[in-house]
Structure 1
Amino acid sequence: MISPNLACDIFTDATRGASIPLYPEELLRTKSHILRRHGHIVVGDAPLRLYKHKSLWKYDERDVRRAARTLADVGVVADDVVEVVLPEERSYEERLAEDEEIRDRGWRGWISSWMYNDARRKLSADERPYSEWGEWRLIGESGLPGGLTWDEFVSTRAAARRRSSIAGTLPLELLTRSEGRWWLPRAYVDLLDRWEQVEEDLIERARMCSRCGVRGPRWGGWRTSTTRGYVTMCPPCSGAAFTAYTGHLRGVAYGQMRARRLRADDYLCRLCQSSRASVWDHCHGHDLVRGPVCAGCNTLEGKGVPISLLQRPEVVEHLLECSRCRKERTLPPRFHATVVQAFLEAEARHASCPVKPQVWRWETTEHGHVFDLHCSRHWTKKWRQEVPTADALVLVRDFVERALAVGQPKAAVPPPRTASDTAAPA
């Protein structure tokens, strides 16, 4: 077993003469959201399984060398090319209307999305409002949308090679345009098609519950982290295999957990109630245990969008598993501005206009939280408002009181007014 860094070095050395432009750093992408899909990194058409050992991800060196030889042997003939038809941009509504099973458009869709995303970024950088973009999706003479030129597209992508790689390769270095069409070497297109099939097979295999064989969600909904990597278990099997947490550790200091020798992975995640827990979550402000959570829920609670989290009753309930937060009627500091923002969205108005404003957080200072407000009906009416820290704490306290009283708080529902009622400009 070798580390990802050593695997990357071995792969780089073994593929120096390859005719395909490669991105060996693909082997370093071992973050949980990548591996949660199916537990492999696929380079070319070779799946490289990752193994967990002492909380670190490892590759089998034989797999790495075998994949490197396979890619090094792929022969690209410059004159033997085939046309590549790229899918058109679709609106958000159009994508939602599709069947969930076919939303992924494959490697052709990836290349297409790069083009449209960079076209949008170019128009945004010009500070032109969306209403003036016109038919920006139309393809120009360069074959790119939104007036994007090939040099602009390539230079932008070259600055972010990780975001321009597919299957550990760099397709834009082989992509050409002639006679109004896109072309790629035949051998390379065949390789990417095989990569698509390998990915699909791995995803399908990872959907099956390892205990009862029931087919689960496509994108890792039943995948749970263990000391040896990710496994797939349906909620009934997880519920039967792991102990439900009953809150019996509320008030226990996180620093005492090692001495108690209690393993989080003996429990069911108290947030999603469907996966095996992997860590003990705790309140960083008070250093008190909240409960066992799985890796996905732990990341969501720590890095998720606060406004979305506070609209989920189970998340608020989990945050209040900290006995000090419950007693003091407070939440972790990163949620305070969100509670204030929800209050302003519900209560602040531009003069006598009945329409709720759009509220954006501008900054948080030692004195309070500052927001930019725009009247949704009178768009030219904009103002900045500061809510003092003391008033913000009152709003948070009211939010927690309602959460404890009814169990289903809504961040969009305003708490009672405080001493500093919002005042919009005339």
Structure 2
Amino acid sequence: MSERVIPGRTGDLIALGAADALWAGLPTDGTVPRASAAFTCSSANARAGYVLLGGRVVATLKAGDGQWSVPETEVRRAALELNAVEIDYQDLVRIGPFRGAPKKERIEGTLLQWRQRITRILQELGGPEQAAQCEGAGPCHLAGIDWQRILVEQTRDQTEQTWWLPRAAVRVLDAAEHAETRWLQTARTHQISTAVTEPPSHNQKVLATYGRQENPDGPTAPMRPYNGELQGQLYSVLSRKPGTSRKVAGWTCAICRTAPAAVLDHCHEHDYVRAPACHSCNAQERPDHLYSNDIRVASRYTRLLDTHAADWLRHWHRCPGCRARITLPLPHLAAWTAHVGCRSLRPTHHDAHNSRARKPCGVLRVSWTGSQNAPRSCLLTVTVDFCPSGEHRVLAQVPYREAAKQFRIWLAETAPAVAAEAGPDRLDGLPDQSRPVIVDTSSEGLALF
């Protein structure tokens, strides 16, 4: 990466204005757009002692003349990390709007709860197009990322406008939120521990942290892999225990094993905790509910039940209830029935872009009557929506017991190791009656609990 002459540079420190120019002007080898005012825009926290660049916390220093500066090497390092992120616009995560008003950030001026920040900005400005046309209306970046340039707007149910970001960008922003949380926790702990002594200057505190470690996220313990510590525990009990959220944040996501965990993914039928997960994996796992008993089988089910089926089946069967009954929660079993069990029934149409190819018709949707607690009367109905010719409606009606039987056969063929661990003799004391389906669509599960 070539060196550039930066105005206002003193040694390894550069002024905030020069840092803005450096961050936006460095060569961009990746696909995540960098913002032009990452240090001076109102969503930055340079004057609070740090800035967020991608998933990295970078300390800021105040010179004797009152001018704020930032280490140039850290800016370059953060840019290199962001350049390595590859965006796939076929792999999107919905970030809003969701039911209910967006919650206010817990600490004013921070990146915490960035989803709610984006939702509030777009709602105030009337949507992505108006936001892009409205100069100076508010911060256009988060963690130095120009999120407006990669935001995708989609129409749901032909009326509702929804907002999506590529999963790769969501992972970066989740990492930034986690890094900022740890930074602020460390700062508060340091303030308490030094309250009885003469408080050091701001520069002394920041330089001490900056000098102790390469990535100044604070002297907290490194994230640890999840090894089943919460196996067999109930979410309704854990969610009420003090300190659970801090404990969860100490694990890496049990699904992707790279991002920091942020939520406790759990079975909504049996209430057992599956594992700590990051926001991105939790959103990928959640069924796309249209109504309490009706879900759309989104494209992400190709990953869940095809390319990464064994990993996701193992994760779902972390619930002792699902593992003992060799099945899935009803919404997931319904999605499996539509996506896999009825695959041969789904019509195809000629692809307008390729005359020799055919593509699946419309969008799959599956609804059900009754529940898994009354399997005799539970019926799954698989439907095709948005057929180009309007000729397809109901593809199949599958009784719950038949769907569960077919899933067991498929599980043994697809993930024999997972199937071998399942069965009613694997858990003593399992309740005779599982809980009714609990659909969590009020906030899309974005809060920790």
Question: Structure 2 length normalisation: TM-score?
Answer: 0.36
Whose Rg is larger?
1
Q: Which has the higher helix share?
A: 1
